[in-house]
Every structure is written in structure tokens, then in C-alpha cells.
Amino acid sequence: MSELTTLARPYAKAAFDFAVEKGELAQWAEMLAFTAEIARDERVQHMLDASFSADTLAEMFITVGGDQLNGFGQNLIKVMAENKRLKALPEVCEQFLAMRLELEKEVEVQVISATALSEEQQQAISDKLAARLERKVKLNCSVDETLVAGVIIRAGDLVIDNSVSGRMRRLSDALQS
């Protein structure tokens, strides 16, 4: 199985990079899932084990895939057939989906402020957190007037307390120790 993983990696990476570049992640995920199911079929497995030509195997996949495969998906099938890698299609699909999940990770961030934040302020916070956390950020904003001024940001284990009340509490702790 580790051999298939190694064989599948460059195809999955190429497909993923291309899909990201074209903005077609969902379409590519569907194409790869469909072709992976074709490759898992017992009758197809026998054909892949037999000594059919690359053109014959590619044409069979493309015919069975029909409208599910666009031109670029067909090219991937042809290249994999030429390199005798069609058996690796299920693994290519799994790796592609794993890369997609990693890319689409989103973190939910709690932002508590002393006053309501403007759209520009929310966007600035979102942009900076996205760069720092390397994730898509979804803000949940709320107002707590006891903060006096500033914000508290909570993203998982990360807590950024930039509120006046938080600063006063830290100063008090420092003076007492």
C-alpha cells in the first residue's frame, strides 16, 4: 500500500495544484472520486492486471467516465495510463481530498470588544489572524462594555487580550508579585 501512496503523490499534488489554480476543487474532487470508483471495480481491476495498451485503458476510463470527466481530467487519465498508474487512482483521490481538507481549514474566532466593531475593523482582524494562523477565519463578534476599551480575541488555545481591563489586571498582578 505504501508503494501506491508513493506512486499517487505526484498525481494528487499536480491535480490539486491545478484545481486550486483554476478554482475547481469541488469539480476535481468529484472527477477523482468517480474515477477512483471505476478503478476499484473488480472487472476494471482485471483489465488493469491484463496487458491492455495504455490507449485502450485510457479510452475505457474516459468512456465510462463520460460527462463526469472534463478535458483536463481526461488528460490525467491518459498520463496515468501511459505510466501504468491507473491502479493508484483511489489513492490519488484520497490524497487529493486530504489536501483539500487541509486547504479549506477554517478557524472560528471569538472577538469580544468594548464597542461594536466596524466592517473595516473586522476585516483587518480577520486578515491578520488568517495570516498568523494560516487558516480561513470566521469571526464571531460580541460586545462587552466592561472591557472599557480594546478587544479580546480567542482562537482555540490562542488568547489575545488587548483590552484595558486585561491590561489593568496584568498590571495589578505585576505590582502584587
CATH number for the domain harbouring residue 20? 1.10.520.20
What is the average per-residue pLDDT within 39-67?
88
Q: How many domains does the chain have?
A: 2
What is the average per-residue pLDDT within 4-17?
91
Domain of 160 in residue numbering reads as 105-176
| pLDDT computed for residue 2 by the predictor | 66
pLDDT > 60? residue 1: no
Whether residue 65 is found in the same domain as residue 85: yes
CB crowding 69-95: b at 16 or more within 10 Å, else e: beebbbebbbebbeeebbbbbbbbbbb
Of the two residues 4 and 37, the one the predictor is more confident about is 37
3-class SS of residue 51: coil
